[in-house]
Chain A
Amino acid sequence: MNNSVTNTARLLWAGLRALLVLTVVTGVLYPLAITGVAQGLFSDKANGSEIKADGKVVGSSLIGQTYNLPLKKGQETPEPDLKWFQPRPSNGLGTNSVNTQYKLILSGATNRSGDNKDLIDWVKAAKAAVIKDNSVNGYTVKPSDVPADAVTSSGSGLDPDISPEYADIQVHRIAEKNGLPVAQVQKLVDEQTEGRTLGFIGEPRVNVLELNIALKELVAKS
C-alpha cells in the first residue's frame, strides 16, 4: 500500500515535470519564435492587415464592417447608408445579448437550421430589402438575381467579402446615389473582383472595404 502510494506520487511528479518542460518548449519558446519571424517578415499581416484611406487607418482588409447611417432617435437598428456598397447580413449570435454585428468583440454564426423560422424570416426580409434598395430608376432587381450570400450571415459574422453577383446588383444604386455613370462603377467592381486563387481555390469575391475605399477616391475625383 505504502509502496504504491509512493510509486503513484513519483509517477505524478514525473508527469508534472514533463508537462512543465514541454510547456516551456511549446508554450513559450515556440510561440515567441513564430512571433519573432512573423513580426520580422510579415509585420503588416501579423498585426491584422490594417488598411488606410487618406493616410488614416480605416480597418482591416480581412474584417467586415457596417456602412450605416448614424442611428436616429427612436431607432434600434441603424439604416444602411446606400451611398456605399453593403456587406452581407450579420445576425451574429442571434439571441445572445452580445451580438455585436461586425464590432469584433465576439465573432460567431447564427447557427440556425434550414427549417428554423427565425432564419426563414431573416432571409425573406433581407431579400425584400435587397430588392427594394437596389431597384432604382430604370433598373429592377429580380428575386432570382439576388445571390445567397446577400441574404445570409457568414460563419464568423465578419465576412469581409461579398460575391461579385451581389456587388453587381448594387452598381446601379451606387451610381445613382453618388452621381456616377453606371459603366464607371461597374468597371470599379470588375477591377476589385478577385478570382479564385490559381483559378480553382475558393470562390470569386469582392472585398467590401477595399471597394468602398476605391469608390470614395472615384467620387472625390469626379
Chain B
Amino acid sequence: MSPVLAGVLQLLALIAALALAYRPLGDYMAKVYSSDKHLRVEKWIYKGIGANPNTEMRWPAYLRGVLAFSAVSVLFLYLLQRIQGSLPGSLGFSSIDPDQAFNTAASFVSNTNWQSYYGEQAMGHVVQTGGLAVQNFVSASVGIAVAVALVRGFALPHSRLRSSGGTPIRTGELGNFWSDLVRGTVRILIPISVIGAIILVACGAIQNFSGIHSVDQFMGGSQQWNGGAVASQEAIKELGTNGGGYFNANSAHPFENPTPFSNLFEIFLILLIPFALTRTFGRMVGSLRQGYAILATMVTIWIGFTALMMWTEFAHHGPAFDIAGGAMEGKENRFGVGGSSIFAVATTLTSTGAVDSFHSSFTGLGGGITILSMQLGEIAPGGTGSGLYGILIMAIIAVFIAGLMVGRTPEYLGKKIGTREIKFAALYILITPALVLIFTAAAMALPTPGNSMTNSGAHGFSEILYAYTSGANNNGSAFAGLNADTQWFNTTIGLAMLLGRFLPMVFVLALAGSLAEQKPVPATAGTLRTEKPLFTGLLVGAILIITGLTYFPALALGPLAEGLAS
C-alpha cells in the first residue's frame, strides 16, 4: 500500500469514527445544557461556589461571570508559577519569571496553550497537573458555555431549553454561567477524558508521579526521564482543543503520542466536540437541518484543507526535502507524512495547537496552510464552543451579504439581523485580524524582535506572522524556531491571546442578548433557506473571501513567497 493511500484511508476512518459519535454526543450535549435537573455532585459544587444554578442571567451578567472566572484563573495560574520554587512536587524547578508566567497564564486561560517554556525543563507536577491541566478543562468549558448562550439567543423564546426549574423564561435571559461551566466540565469533558486517558495509557503514554530519574542505555550511560501525569493531561489537551504539551515536543513526543493508533485517536479527540456541537445547535434551535448546513460547511473546508496539505507534503518541494527525498524533517516515522498532515490541519483548523510534527519544517505551502487554517478564525470545526460561535458569526455575515444582494432585511433562524446585530458580528470578525496584523507589523518594524528568528527571509517573517496568528486566534502552535521567551514576545503574545479570546466573547454575548430579546419573525417565501446546500456554498465562499482579502498581503510575504520559490 502506498503512503498516500494509507493517508487517505486514515482520513476516511477518522470521518467514519466522527460520524458514529456525532449523533449521540450532539444530542447528549443538547440534553446537558437543556435539562433542569442537577446531579448530586453538581449540587455539592454549587454549594462550594456559593452560586444558585437556577438564576437566569441576561447577557451582561453572563459576561461578568465569564470575565470574573477567567480573571481569577489568570491570577491564580500566574501566582502558582511564581511560587513554584517553594512548592513541593516541583521536581526542583525554580519559579517562572514574571513575563513568562503572565504569558503562560494568559495562554492556558484563553484556551490557547502557546508555550514559551520547555515543559520538561520548567514545569513540575503541581503546576502541570494542578494548574495547567485544570485550565485545559475549564477554559474549554467556558468556550462551550458561551457558544450555548449564543444558541439560546437564537432559540428563544420559541423553544424552552433551559434549566430554570420550571419558572417561565423572560426574554433576554441566556441561562446560568456557573451551571453551564460546571455541567460542561462534569458531564461532558471529564467522562470523555477518563476514557481517552485510559486508551492513551494502553497505547503507551506515561502516567506516574515519579521525579526526574536516570535509566540505563544499551551502549552504557543513561538517559534522563521525566515522570508525569501525561496521559490524563493529553486526553483533555486534545478533547478541549487546548494543545499545551507536557513535553516540549508536544504530541510528537513518544510518551505523549506513542503509536500510529494513538495519533489517529488524538486527532479524533480534537475534532469530536467541535463537530458534534453543530448537532447540539440544531437540536436546540429546533431544526437539525440548520445544524447539518453548518456541519457541511465545516466538513467542506476541513477535507479540502487536509487534501491540499497531503498533496503538498507528499510532493515535498523545497531544496532540503528534494535532496532528502521526502519532507520527513520534524516528522516521526510512526506517523509518516499522511498522519502528520491530517494532524496538522486538524490542530490548526481547531484552536488546539498540539503538534505531532513541526510545522516550521513543513513545505512552504504546507506551512502556509497551517497559518491560513488559523486565520479562517478556527471555525472548521474550530475550538470547543469557539468554533460554533465563530461560524455562527460568519453565517450572520453571509446572510447579511445575501440580504444586500436581494435588498431584503436579512434574517437567520427567525431572528432579524439588524444594525445592532451586524455591528457586533463585524466587530467580532475585525478584532482578530487587527491584533495579528498590528502586532506583526510592530514586531517587524522594531529592531530587536527579529533577533528571535531561527530562519531568515520569507520563513523568518512567517515565524512572526505565525506567532501572532496563533496567539490572537487562541491556537497555540508555532513555527517553533522563533525564540518566544523574550519580554517583547511574552508580553505582546500574552495580550494578543487575552484580547483575542475575551473581546470576541463580549461581542458574542452582546449579540446573544440582542437576539434573545427579539420575537421570532415567521419565515416567508423571501426568506433565505439557511438549511440548504446553496447556503453552505455561500458560507464557504464568504469565509474564504473575507479571510483571503484580509490576510493575502501578509501571506504573500511569508509562506506564499517561500512556497512559490521552491
Contact = CB atoms under 8 A, between A and B. Distances in A.
Given A111-B479, A149-B333, A155-B330, 6 more contacts: A30-B193, A103-B223, A111-B454, A114-B329, A148-B328, A200-B5
Contact of A50 (B73, B215, B255, B454): B215
Interface residues of B, number: 124
B317 A154 contact: no
Interface of A: 8, 11-23, 25-28, 30-31, 33-35, 37-39, 41-42, 45-50, 53, 56-60, 62-63, 65-68, 81, 84, 88, 94-95, 98, 102-116, 119-120, 123-124, 127, 144, 146-149, 151-163, 196-203, 205, 209, 212-213
A23 B68 contact: no
Most buried by B among A56, A102, A159, A213: A159
Interface in B172-228: 178, 181-182, 185-186, 189-190, 193-194, 197-198, 201-210, 212, 215-219, 223-227
B223 A63 contact: yes
Nearest to B194: A34
B258 interface: yes
B397 interface: no
B256 to A, nearest CB: 9
Contacts of A107: 120, 247-249, 252-253
B327 A111 contact: no
A208 B121 CA distance: 27
Interface string B110-126: 00000000101100000
Contacts of B218: 53, 58-59, 65, 67, 84, 209, 212-213
B133 interface: yes
Given A26-B190, A112-B329, A196-B260, A202 B335 contact: yes
Nearest to A198: B261
A91 to B, nearest CB: 9
Contacts, number: 377
Given A31-B133, A53-B218, A200-B13, A116 B320 contact: yes
A112 B323 CA distance: 15
B69 interface: yes
Contacts of A35: 207-209, 229, 232
Given A48-B255, A65-B218, A26 B49 contact: no
Contacts of A160: 254
Most buried by B among A23, A114, A120: A114
A26 B181 CA distance: 13
A110 B316 CA distance: 17
Contacts of B367: 113
Interface in B1-59: 1, 3, 5-6, 9-10, 13, 45, 48-51
B129 interface: yes
B455 interface: yes
B434 to A, nearest CB: 28
B546 interface: no
B358 interface: yes
Contacts of B69: 15, 18-19
B13 A201 contact: yes
B249 A102 contact: no
A114 B50 contact: no
A45 B204 contact: yes
A46 B254 contact: no
Given A25-B45, A65-B217, A109-B480, A47 B249 contact: no
Nearest to B203: A45
Interface in B359-385: 360-361, 363-364, 367
A212 B252 CA distance: 23
A77 B271 CA distance: 43
Contact of B216 (A20, A21, A59, A84): A59
Contacts of A212: 218
Contacts of A14: 49-51, 65, 68, 178
Q: What are the nearest 5 A-B pairs in CB distance? A: A202-B260, A114-B318, A148-B326, A155-B252, A203-B336
